[in-house]
A and B are shown apart, each in its own frame.
Chain A
Amino acid sequence: MSEQPPSSPTPHPGDQTDAPSVAPVPGEPEGRIVLDERDIARALTRISHEILERNKGAADLVLLGIPSRGVPLAKRVAERIAAVEGVEVPVGSLDITMYRDDLRKHPARGPQHTEIPSGGIDGRTVVLVDDVLYSGRTVRAALDAMNDIGRPDVVRLAVLVDRGHRDLPIRADHVGKNLPSARTERVAVRLSELDDVEGVWIS
């Protein structure tokens, strides 16, 4: 998850995860950069290998990115897997707007696109991909959303950044970088597919 959206009222530290993925913001975010473009690339490569290791290959894998920035990350992982194993792993997106537990706290936001690959998720190993893991509520919503779509055999979670402060008993299987942070700090992820810069900043 990225940092809090511009439209929120007075920031509450817990809000930062609860905010939905924001539209691309131009320019470099505030603060110091903790992962640059090459760090991100290396992290994604390692994550892709880990996924294959854990799964003992690419069989029955489905990658679902959580919009917004989970989606390009999922695609990049799929590319790396294709390069290493020579297999095209199905990639899709899973929007969780309608499953959020805090719907009534914000004006209703329109959902982003959900695209389930044509083979579905029944009996598959689904790897959810997101940019930041924080309170865990987004992942909980994603699990509920998947429940209404099908029944995977296994669900795993891959995130680019784990910044701690879980509100729920949720953990990531694959982490690009552990980034201990204070609740008052903001973590901003930028990816070239959506933004005009690339990197992870903390402020």
Chain B
Amino acid sequence: MKKHLLSIDDVTADDIAEIFATAAEMHDVQRRDVKKLPALRGRTVINLFFEDSTRTRSSFEIAGKWLSADTINITGKGSSTSKGESLRDTVLTIASMGVDALVMRHSASGAALQVSQWVDASVINAGDGTHEHPSQALLDAYTLQRRLGSLEGRHVVMVGDLTHSRVFRSNVLCLTKLGARVTVVAPPTLMPSGVTEWSRAAGFETSYDVDAVLPTADAVMMLRVQKERMSGGFFPSPREYTVGYGLTRDRLALLGADVPICHPGPMNRGLEIAADAADAAQSVILDQVSAGVAVRMAILYHLLAGEGSAA
């Protein structure tokens, strides 16, 4: 496996299978009284979060601690518009304390890649702007695979604000890599620019019509819609969004009873996903959270435990 996890492009289908197998074992560790493995003892992992996130950060923190690594949380300062340190100075200062891995979240796309060129440590991208969130995609795919068996040939439908979603970008790469058929649904204003060429090249489909696509879905992934986007002129009103694209009770009925429903969280109940759908038996939203720790343990283990890892 490569030294960094910046993008799903950094892992092959075989790497993903290995991560999933390890994650399955890690899942068992979560159920024990002593939730500890010594594999990363002596390693130092810094969670460097320039953007707020309780969920992802605590998931990585727990994952590191359960592997006996020393994990430290650092909140990075805001962007460069203040006359502060350059990003490079900021990360070099931290990395030069002798760090094995930087788990980084930043509001700028590409920040993780740029940082990986400046530091010796392994860099794990915990979300860079609207670009990628590889550990989320891995835990989403892992969760779906546990529910569905193999993802090969399965039809996964993603609905939501694709333009601003790093979860979408990582997931589309991950799911197609694992052989799934992916259709993404959004209104035209929330489709990324150039998506037609991109989808053709990358092998996924696009649609504006969620009702046409849902009946053939084997799995559904609802993406968060930020209300702030409404004022950016992307969409007239929350109500119109829900009627056109939300996973309402009616649309829930269109799905087979064993079609898992995912959401990376946090949810806007009533906006992109009805409460009934979020709490339905077929919802795997909570499974995603517990999978998150296991998958992140697997990622940290494979990147840091062996020879040829950072430090």
- Say how far A165's CB is from chain B's closest CB, in angstroms: 24
Cβ–Cβ contact A95 & B25, under 8 A: yes
Q: In the complex, A110 Cα to B21 Cα: how many Å?
A: 7
Cβ–Cβ contact A105 & B307, under 8 A: yes
Q: In the complex, A98 Cα to B25 Cα: how many Å?
A: 11
Residue B28 at the chain A interface, CB threshold 8 Å? yes
Q: Kindly report which residue of chain B lies nearest to residue A102, judged by CB atoms.
A: B307
Q: In the complex, A114 Cα to B28 Cα: how many Å?
A: 8
On chain B, the residues within 8 Å of A84 by CB distance are: none
Chain B: number of interface residues, binned into ranges: 20 to 34
Q: Kindly report which residue of chain B lies nearest to residue A144, judged by CB atoms.
A: B38
Cβ–Cβ contact A103 & B306, under 8 A: yes
On chain A, the residues within 8 Å of B37 by CB distance are: 98-99, 148
Chain A: number of interface residues, binned into ranges: 20 to 34
Cβ–Cβ contact B307 & A148, under 8 A: no
CB proximity to A under 8 Å, residues B151-166: none
**A interface secondary structure, majority:** loop
On chain A, the residues within 8 Å of B307 by CB distance are: 104-107
- Name 19 A/B residue pairs within 8 A (Cβ), A-sorted: A95-B25, A98-B39, A98-B305, A99-B37, A99-B39, A103-B305, A104-B306, A105-B307, A106-B306, A108-B305, A108-B306, A109-B306, A110-B21, A111-B22, A113-B25, A147-B34, A148-B34, A148-B37, A150-B33
- Using CB atoms and an 8 Å cutoff, list the residues of chain A in contact with chain B: 95, 98-99, 103-114, 144, 147-150
List 4 tightest A-B contacts by C-beta distance, closest first: A108-B306, A98-B39, A108-B305, A148-B34
- Using CB atoms and an 8 Å cutoff, list the residues of chain B in contact with chain A: 1, 18, 21-22, 25, 28, 32-34, 36-39, 67, 301-309
